[in-house]
Amino acid sequence: MFNIINKSRVTYFYNEFIIKMFRDKERKPLLQQIKELYLLARAIKYWPHNYFKYDGYKKNKSLDEVKLYSTGLLFAQFRQDYINDCRYTVFADDKFLFHKLMADAGIPTAKLINVISHNAFTNEYKGLNSVNAEVILNAITADAIVIKPVIDSQQGAGVNVINVNTNIAKKFEVSGDTYDSTELLKKLFSEYSGSYLIEEKIQQHSFNHRLYPEAVNTIRVDSLLAKSGEVIINSAYLRIGRNGRKVDNWSGKQGGIGVNVNIQTGALSSQGIDYCKNLYSEHPDTGVSFSGLEIPYWDEIINMVKEAALQFPNVRSLGWDIVLIENGPLILEVNGDYDILAQQTCTQAFGKNNLFYSELISYSENTEYFKHYAINHQHL
């Protein structure tokens, strides 16, 4: 696990971290960096790229602060081995199963229209109950829909936001091009051969519409189901799309802006951050300032996440995508393997939330991970 080094990773590491670090006037002296890297690596297998990702090289970040960040590889493996039972993660990963689970629990989600697949042997496109997929598309009455992979989408890849011409002869507009139902199906399944979910496009709350109207901006909340049965909320950030993108996903150079949310009050931090670590006090496209904004329905959001997390007794670590519509929150989707680089960069180090972190420590007891999670109580 720890020795997967390939060329693209090295290039990425060089461009994203090394160059930036050398240009940064606020960096620690090189000898201090080498010493800290050695201590971190020896104590908790902290890879150099984590040291750079979480600003360990900067003068204002003490070694004690840096080690509070969990590293992606370790957390992913720990989560897979001890927190999330892989036999049940499909209920989070599969967006259709997730819709069903939430509907059973009475928790609101986006409006599900259908699930469509292509049978390569018969060359037929079918929806649920074998209804012809063209018939399904032609019967759509919503002005706009979203068609996205049921299980494989990640970071917004493959998410198609589509305007529908609701006249009798339906036309579908995707990224400026127009298709009829047959053409649309061909296009979709040439790009991805698995099943697609069709949802109505959500009309978001004016709070988020004002910040950036092109995408539905979601709140990523991460939760941990404690051994006591309590749902611990670790952190939250608002993801805001930008640059004309119709999805709000944060990762990558084209990704959106993440703004930390105070989990007690729903207040936004005054600055947001993107994947390349640029900071923003206002949205670059709309000019709306983040300072002083509070997310509406915050208590309802937290209660809804806690209720939903209880539906996953065997998948205890989850990252939720919450959407606000005018009359309250709904859950867009959940991730059993949510991105902790994004979470910690946009909010804070895992080790800073004592309640959440002590639960991680208790889950890691008697495992090979204990040393890593327990280290934040000691000085290196």
User: What are the residues binding Mg ion (CB under 5 A)?
Assistant: 321
Instruction: Please report, as a single letter, which amino acid is at residue 318.
Output: L
In sequence order, which residues have a C-beta less than 8 Å from that of residue 161 and are 6 or more positions away? 144, 146, 174, 201, 215, 246, 247
Considering only 55, 274, 333, 359, the residue that binds ligand ATP (CB under 6 A) is: 333
DSSP assigned state of 315:
B
Which lies closer to ligand ATP via its Cβ, residue 163 or residue 348? 163
User: Does residue 199 bind ligand ATP (CB under 6 A)?
Assistant: yes
Distance CA 66, CA 64 (A): 6
Alpha helices in the chain (DSSP H): 7-13, 19-23, 30-44, 48-53, 63-66, 72-78, 90-93, 95-105, 133-138, 181-191, 206-211, 298-309, 340-346, 354-364, 370-374
Tell me the CA distances in angstroms from 29 to 25, 35, 61, 68, one per residue in order: 10, 10, 13, 21
Quick check: 201 binds ligand ATP (CB under 6 A)?
yes
Answer with the entry of ligand ATP, Mg ion, none that 247 interacts with (C-beta below 5 to 8 A by kind): ligand ATP
- Of 330, 332, 249, 259, residue with least CA distance to 297: 330
Q: What 3-state class would DSSP assign to 128?
A: helix
Rg (CA), the chain: 22
Query: Which of 43/159 has CB closer to ligand ATP?
Result: 159
Total residues binding ligand ATP (CB under 6 A): 21
- Closer residue to ligand ATP, CB minimum distance, 197 or 232: 197
Contact status, residue 261 vs residue 219, Cβ threshold 8 Å? yes
Spell out the residues 6+ positions from residue 240 whose beta carbon is closer than 8 angstroms to its own. Answer: 208, 211, 212, 215, 217, 248, 256, 257, 258, 259, 272, 283
- Name the minimum Å distance from CB 197 to Mg ion: 12
21 touches, from Mg ion, ligand ATP, none (C-beta below 5 to 8 Å by class): none
Residue with the CB atom nearest Mg ion in the bound state: 321
- Which amino acid is located at 9 in the chain? R
Least distance to ligand ATP from the beta carbon of 302, Å?
Answer: 19
Please state the closest distance from residue 136 (CB atom) to ligand ATP, in A: 16
Q: Which is nearer to ligand ATP, 154 or 178 (CB)?
A: 154
Q: What are phi and psi for residue 68, nearest 5 degrees?
A: -75, -15
Of the candidates 248, 297, 357, 361, which one interacts with ligand ATP according to CB under 6 A?
A: 248
Partner from Mg ion, ligand ATP, none binding residue 80, C-beta < 5-8 Å depending on class: none
Nearer Cβ to ligand ATP, position 222 or 333? 333
- Nearest to Mg ion of 335, 358 (CB atom): 335
Residues 132-191 that bind ligand ATP (CB under 6 A): 146, 148, 153-156, 159
Which positions from 106 to 135 touch ligand ATP by CB under 6 A, shown as an x/- string? ----x-------------------------
Cα 93 from Cα 337, distance rounded (Å): 9
Say how far apart CA 7 and CA 16 lie, in whole Å: 14
Shortest CB 303 distance to ligand ATP, Å: 21
Count CA atoms within 13 Å of residue 51 on its CB side: 23
Stretch that binds ligand ATP, among 71-79, 166-174, 327-335, 345-353 (CB under 6 A): 327-335
Rounded CA separation 118/107 (Å): 30
Measured from the CB atom, the residue of 53 and 148 that comes closer to ligand ATP is 148
Task: Tell me which of Mg ion, ligand ATP, none is bound by residue 216, counting a contact when its beta carbon lies within the kind-specific cut-off of 5 to 8 angstroms.
Answer: ligand ATP
- 332 contributes a contact to ligand ATP by CB under 6 A: yes
Would you tell me which residues interact with ligand ATP (CB under 6 A)?
110, 146, 148, 153-156, 159, 199, 201-202, 215-216, 218, 247-249, 321, 332-333, 335
